[in-house]
Structures are given as structure tokens and as C-alpha cells.
Amino acid sequence: MKLLLLVLLVLLLLVYSDPFRVGATPVLLVPSPAFSPNSPVSATMAAPTVAYSPGVGEAGQRHSMDSHRKILIALIVACTTLGAIISSLLGLWIYHCKCSRKPHRRTGRSSDGEKGLSLNPFFAQFNSSRMIGKKGSVSLVDYKLLEKGTENFRESNILGVGGFGRVYRAQMDDNLIVAVKKIECQSHDAEKEFQNEVDLLSRIQHPNIISLLGCCSQGDARFIVYELMQNGSLETQLHGPSHGSALTWHMRMKIALDTARGLEYLHEHCHPSVIHRDLKTSNILLDANFNAKLSDFGLAVADGTQNKNNIKLSGTLGYVAPEYLLDGKLTDKSDVYAFGVVLLELLLGRRPVEKLAPAQCQSIVTWAMPQLTDRSKLPNIVDPVIKDTMDLKHLYQVAAVAVLCVQPEPSYRPLITDVLHSLIPLVPVELGGTLRVTQLVVSVGSAVHSDH
């Protein structure tokens, strides 16, 4: 294109500078009669020369000039037309490349999904249930169907209790069992969280994020229908009646890996990226096979949200990152901090905040940090349920990841993608990692015993 513009410029200069007239009419001098085509002459002598003589052959010269100008004008028009055609073709080619090119980040489908991880089969089943229409891409569920499925929201069907309502077990048509969150929208915050969660989950599909099946409005109440997670929340499994007895070391590492995959999808593959803002064990749900899925997106924030740093402080004590708690600064590293706390819960079997006295509490981060970096003390604070079941080397690796995630300074924390790649080698192949268990592991108990 630059070369074409240069040619056009030269041609224009030739037209308007009129090299055939420099103060006089140019006359082409022909060789003298003594000249013979067969006579040996130099190249310079054979070449015609130009002299200037006023008033000689003006009509012929004007005719010659007109011919030259017509030729130049024709060339300019031809070049201009050719340039326009080339520009159009180039523009179409660039547009085609942009449309066909798939961006590496924030594509709306994670790399895990592309590797063949199955999405939830609930969608196909749930569509057979009785619907009353759609709101955008979200199915609107008949309220009477929810009322019937929960036995008029009977207390015995309560699965959990949240900030603005309760979650019920519901048996729908065709014996399909789902979870129904009932939100009492008597405040602006409750309505806002309902709208936010429905909007986000309607655009998200990932194996490690809870599936939205539909929603419903009835008076001041709002309802969100999800797939049922048979093993409840990670909080219940760790701190409930079983005290984590169903969760082996490898199962806990699988849950950590699933959680990291869900967060990576939000941070790296959603457009715009999403900050969960309320990651905790009660919002990590487990299906029948203990696959972990992130839930409760009422407080989630899109990375492009205006005045993100001025968002109302929300979250759960013990999981909230220091910079967000003290300065209101919210980034994806805030989710990484919360993930580190969850990892400590899986490792130690302790709650994020424990009461030492009626008016005194202690954070798991504050309590564990000095011992996490001491290899001689670390084995003694591991959850007794798994203490004798893991490779000591793997224990040190997980502790190192947790320490990095809960660093007070956000810039020192890793990206969730780095955390994900650190955990994959610690999870057996059959549970979604790359670890091949070919020999007996060195347990923590035996390793500690051998040290003494």
C-alpha cells in the first residue's frame, strides 16, 4: 500500500510540475543532415537533446503535452481503482482472520471441557419437566411444581441454610431430584444477589461449577433450581458428624484440584473474568462421586465491573483476604487467598476460625503458619483421619502451596492456574490427576517414627 501511494504521488507531481515548460517552449532537436544511421557515434551523440526556443512548433507541442497528460490521468485513475480494490480485499482478509481466530484466554469453555470432561446430564432430564417458559436463556419453572416437589417446603427437606434463605430437596416429574434455593427478597441486597446469580450461572457451563436448571418468582420469594449434590457441602463432610472420615488423602487432593479447576475457569476462561468473592467449604458441593463444584454466585463480581474496589465488603470471616478486609481492594488473588484457607481445612481438619474463649477467636492461618514451614512440626498438625495415609513429600508440597496462597501481600500469591498445575501431579490418574500409584507410599506416621 505504501508503494502504491508513492507511485500516485510521483504521477501527481509529474502532472502539476509540467516538466515540458520551463520558461519557454521545449523543442526537440533532431540530428543534423550529416548524421547517418550507419556512422559510428557515441551513445550520447545519438541521443536526442532538448533545447528551448520561443515560439517554435507550439501547436504540436501542446498536442504532445495533452497526450502526455491524458496518459498520466489514465494511469492515476487506474492506480486509484487498483488501490481501492486491494484495500477492500485486504480489509476483508483481516476481518476474516479476526473472526476465525479463537482467543487463547477467556473463551467461554475451559480446556478441561475440551479434553472431554462430561458436563451435567441434568439439563436433558430437567427439560422433560413441566416449564412455563423462558427468561432469556433461563428456564422458568412452575411454582406449583416446586411446591409439590418440596412437599410445600417441608422442613424435613431442608438441605442447608444460607444468608437469605434455605435450600430444599425436591422431587420433580419423572422422579428427577433437584435442589431448590428459596430466597426471601424482602431487601434490595437479596434481590440483587438473586439476579446476579441467575445471570452468571445462565452463562456458565463447567464440570466444576454447579448447574443452573431454572428459576421462579412467587410474590416476594425467588427460587433457583440446581442439580442435586448428593454428598452435600465440603463443610459438612469435614466438620459435620463424620469429621472427614469419608475423605481420604487422595480424595481431599481431588476436591482441591476440582475447586482449582472451577476457579481457573472463572478467572481465565470467562469473558469478562469472574471473581467468586465468597469461596468457602460450605459453597463447595460434592456429588455422588465426590466431584467438587463451586456454588453460590450471589456475591460474584465480573472483572470489568465499574468501581470494583468500592464494592460493599462481603464474605465470610476467615476466608476474606486481608487487602479486601482492610482496604476494600478486590482482585482474583482474593479468591486465591480463600482457596488457601480451604486447602488448610482439607489438610488440618480445622475450621477457618476457632473460638479460644467466649470473646477470643483464632484464625487457622495465624495458628498454622509457623508450623506449616517447619518440617518437624507439620506432620503433628495434620488431620488425624489422614495422618498415616499420605506420602510425606506430598504433604510438604501441599503445605507449600497453601502457604503461598495465604500470603498477606497479594502479589506474592500465585495465580490459580499455577496452583492447579501444582496439584495435578498429587492426584491419582483415576481421580483426574497424573499420579500413578505403583508402590506403597511412605506414610507420615512411619516417617515421623523413623525421624525419632
Any idea which residues carry the catalytic annotation? 278
Classified as helix, coil or strand, 27 is strand
For residue 272, is the peptide bond before it cis, meaning its omega torsion is within 30 degrees of 0?
Answer: yes
Strand 138-141 with 165-171, pairing: unpaired
Cα separation values, 111 from 67, 211, 265, 401, 422, Å:
67, 18, 9, 22, 17
Asked whether 258 and 246 are in contact (CB, 8 A), the reply is: no
The three cell numbers of residue 172 are: 420433580
Helix (H, G, I), strand (E, B) or coil at 436: coil
Strand partners, 293: 285
Q: What contacts 187, CB < 8 A, 6 or more positions away?
A: 164
DSSP notation for 141-195: EPHHHHHHHTTTT-GGGEEEE-SSEEEEEEE-GGG-EEEEEEEE--SHHHHHHHH
For 190, list phi and psi in degrees, rounded to 5. Answer: -65, -45
| DSSP summary character for residue 420 | H
What are φ and ψ of residue 415, in 5° steps?
A: -70, 155
**Contact present, 264 and 445 (Cβ < 8 Å):** no
Q: CA–CA separation, 380 vs 302, rounded Å?
A: 41
Distance between CA atoms of 81 and 87, rounded to whole angstroms? 10
